[in-house]
Amino acid sequence: MLNIVIFGAPGSGKGTQSERIVEKYKINHISTGDVLRAEIKNGTELGKTAKGYIDQGQLIPDELMIDILASVFDSFKDSKGVIFDGFPRTIAQAEALKNMLVERGQDVSVMLDLEVPEDELMTRLIKRGKDSGRADDNEETIKKRLTVYHSQTAPLIDWYKGEKKYQHINGLGTMDGIFADICKAVDSI
Ligand code: ATP
Ligand code: MG
């Protein structure tokens, strides 16, 4: 299986590039943010819990996310691979992902780190908030999410370097140009 972790700060373009990767490599997509937003929309218990955290720019507790991830992963049948978008976001999640894959005779093939400067992230997310009305894309919540990214999520860069899975991608440029760089990285695995 081709198991890709797509990584980056909020607004780095994980969702956009994931769609292209899914189409080209015919793999399944797990976006934890999309899963949570669907739960909120459907008014489930999980959705109610998640909304409290998301509106504050905080992460959902690891135990909850790890269970959700395993159940979505196991729902894919005869999968050629998976792109993990928005997961892992903490070291505990990265360890859980590794264990979950090992238990299934799999591993992470590569971690793609989409790097985008902070001022560009702010600009993109504020624009997305205006266009799509995503409740957490307002200036105050974006700032909190970026702080959470730096403190809880960015340490995964060194963690994946230690695993020898790390691949840097320049996330500034045209969507096509960034996608071409991603394909180069994936094809060289
Ligand atoms: P991007 O714009 O690059 O897709 P994002 O940070 O804007 O990234 P999502 O990945 O959609 O957006 O996540 C939205 C929110 O959902 C997060 O701020 C967080 O509260 C929650 N969330 C998503 N994935 C996780 C996770 N793995 N662990 C904990 N909370 C999560
Ligand atoms: Mg997203």
pTM above 0.85, yes or no: yes
Residue 121 and residue 71: Cα distance in Å, rounded?
31
**Residues 98-108, mean pLDDT to the nearest whole number:** 97
Token digits for 12?
């780095």
Residue 49 and residue 60: Cα distance in Å, rounded?
8
Does the pLDDT at position 133 exceed 90? no
Token digits for 133?
């009305």
**Residues 30-49, mean pLDDT to the nearest whole number:** 97
**pLDDT value of position 65:** 97
Pocket of ligand 1 (CB under 6 A): 8, 10-12, 14-15, 32-33, 36, 53-54, 58-60, 65, 86-87, 89, 93, 136, 145
Catalytic residue selected from 37, 51, 145, 165: 145
Does the pLDDT at position 114 exceed 90? yes
Catalytic residue selected from 98, 134, 161, 165: 134
Token digits for 53?
């955290």
In the chain, where are the structural domains located?
Answer: 2-187
pLDDT tier at 138, thresholds 50, 70, 90 = very high
- Tell me the CATH class for 2-187: alpha beta
